[in-house]
């Protein structure tokens, strides 16, 4: 059985966006599922717009998504000798020719054709002239004048193009640089690419590329054109919909596996299943289940799915991912047992890693004062001070801070004070965190440790006393 070889060929003229990342994912999944190869190729022949910064951004995004490649990265600008060899093959076989028509001449041909209701295209003036190479000459591909070219698309079905409507398109410019459709075909032939999954904005290029394959006597790859990704308003995805750099989502605290899960579901399905691990995507992905309708990108749905992935990820694996966000906020955090404990109290209620880091603030502050004004006014009242003192004494006497042990201490204080758990828990929560919203009291106390808890209970008592003396 032939080894499946797919590729992802981004142009380094900007960042890697959502649509490009989904294309990369589909090719990667198909290669991994079939134990094939995934090739990364940088299509940088547009030397005016291509930048090293964009190349670096693409690599950065691919590494964050953990879409590893088996071959490459190849750069088209380093392959010009190969392209020249294949240009000569087409010239020698009579499938290409030199053309000296100026851009103005070609534009006049197109205007003339439009005036008669014909398709605007080059009229083949130099097609049979047998011109030699010259400084101003381009090389054109000699397209067939009759018949049809059929794109056998595994996603969209067969698409038929009339050859008479095809242009004798340029495959090499007068400055010697080959054009997109030509170099793509040469690259795919020489790299052994046999499965091409790409956006359906490439459909109109495909008949030209098929003609080049046939002229070069190379086997055709499998083609599959994926529908576009749209915004919630069904318009083409733009920055206002969330069409940012893929790495922007990393910086917003999304997990790579959650992002890939969401991308996969933009146009592909497996029954009613929404949540997929990376391994499940590899096992269940198939070209036949890619739909023909555009996917709709919804940041709210991505966020909800990210929350599911955070909850499903072992806290030890979350630690190195959340640590950079902790440090960005100035916390003296380390990838240690304390951080794992902190995450254990927060991950079930966090939608993003940024939100988790925000929620961890009280774990890394020496002093949680000043307290939230509304919470302090409501819960840190004079009658609470002796209760906090009693609780501090009860906790200090405990051999450990296991939840069962804590429960006994709280029951002891509740009985002495004649108060229910809620009447004690909320003042304690404000004393320990500075706010009235936090993880569960017992799990939070267990992570903070006895020294921090006692110091904060004492500080809250002093705060209440200071109010009484004013």
Known catalytic residues? 239
Alpha-carbon gap, residue 244 to 174, rounded angstroms: 36
Alpha-carbon gap, residue 180 to 216, rounded angstroms: 16
The phi-psi region of residue 117 (left if phi > 0; otherwise alpha if psi is between -120 and 50; otherwise beta) is: left
Asked if residue 140 lies in contact with residue 99, where contact means CB atoms within 8 angstroms, the answer is yes
Alpha-carbon gap, residue 267 to 23, rounded angstroms: 11
Query: How many Cβ atoms from other residues are within 10 Å of residue 150's Cβ?
Result: 12
Nearest to 16 by CA among 47, 49, 60, 46: 60
Asked if residue 196 lies in contact with residue 6, where contact means CB atoms within 8 angstroms, the answer is yes
Asked if residue 447 lies in contact with residue 345, where contact means CB atoms within 8 angstroms, the answer is yes
Query: How many Cβ atoms from other residues are within 10 Å of residue 35's Cβ?
Result: 9
Asked if residue 276 lies in contact with residue 379, where contact means CB atoms within 8 angstroms, the answer is no
Q: What strands lie across the sheet with 71-75, from one edge to the other?
A: 5-8, 37-42, 71-75
Task: Output the CA torsion sign for 206, 207, 208, 212.
Answer: positive
Q: Nearest-5° angle of CA 176, CA 84, CA 140?
A: 60
Alpha-carbon gap, residue 221 to 5, rounded angstroms: 10
Where do we find the tokens 């879409």?
A: 67
Alpha-carbon gap, residue 280 to 29, rounded angstroms: 10
């Amino acid at each position: 059985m032939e080894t499946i070889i797919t590729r992802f060929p981004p142009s380094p003229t900007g960042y890697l966006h959502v649509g490009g990342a989904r294309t990369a994912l589909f090719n990667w999944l198909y290669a991994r599922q079939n134990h094939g190869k995934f090739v990364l190729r940088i299509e940088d022949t547009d030397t005016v717009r291509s930048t090293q910064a964009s190349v670096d951004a693409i690599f950065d995004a691919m590494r964050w998504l953990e879409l590893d490649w088996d071959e490459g990265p190849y750069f088209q600008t380093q392959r010009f000798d190969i392209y020249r060899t294949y240009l000569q093959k087409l010239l020698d076989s009579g499938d290409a020719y030199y053309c000296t028509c100026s851009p103005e001449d070609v534009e006049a041909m197109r205007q003339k054709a439009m005036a008669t209701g014909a398709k605007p295209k080059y009229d083949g003036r130099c097609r049979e002239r047998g011109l030699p190479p010259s400084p101003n000459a381009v090389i054109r591909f000699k397209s067939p004048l009759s018949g049809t070219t059929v794109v056998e698309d595994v996603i969209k079905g067969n698409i038929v193009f009339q050859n008479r409507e095809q242009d004798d398109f340029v495959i090499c410019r007068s400055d010697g640089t080959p054009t997109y459709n030509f170099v793509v075909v040469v690259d795919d032939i020489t790299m052994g690419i046999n499965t091409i999954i790409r956006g359906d904005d490439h459909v109109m290029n495909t008949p030209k590329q098929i003609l080049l394959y046939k002229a070069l006597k190379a086997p055709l790859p499998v083609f599959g054109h994926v529908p576009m990704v749209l915004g919630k308003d069904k318009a083409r995805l733009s920055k206002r919909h969330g069409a940012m750099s893929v790495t922007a989502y990393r910086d917003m605290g999304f997990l790579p596996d959650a992002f890939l899960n969401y991308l996969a579901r933009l146009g592909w399905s497996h029954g009613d299943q929404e949540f997929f691990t990376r391994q499940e995507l590899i096992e269940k992905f198939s070209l036949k289940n890619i739909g023909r309708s555009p996917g709709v990108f919804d940041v709210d749905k991505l966020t909800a799915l990210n929350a599911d992935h955070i909850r499903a990820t072992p806290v030890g694996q979350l630690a190195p991912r959340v640590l950079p966000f902790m440090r960005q906020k100035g916390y003296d955090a380390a990838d240690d047992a304390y951080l794992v404990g902190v995450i254990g109290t927060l991950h079930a209620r966090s939608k993003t890693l940024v939100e988790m880091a925000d929620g961890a603030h009280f774990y890394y502050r020496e002093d949680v004062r000043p307290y939230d004004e509304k919470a302090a006014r409501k819960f840190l009242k004079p009658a609470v001070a002796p209760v906090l003192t009693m609780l501090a004494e009860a906790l200090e006497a405990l051999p450990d801070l296991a939840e069962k042990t804590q429960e006994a201490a709280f029951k002891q204080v509740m009985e002495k004070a004649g108060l229910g758990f809620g009447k004690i828990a909320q003042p304690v929560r404000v004393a320990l965190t500075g706010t009235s919203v936090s993880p569960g009291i017992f799990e939070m106390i267990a992570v903070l440790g006895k020294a921090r808890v006692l110091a904060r209970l004492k500080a809250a008592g002093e705060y209440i006393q200071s109010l009484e003396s004013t």
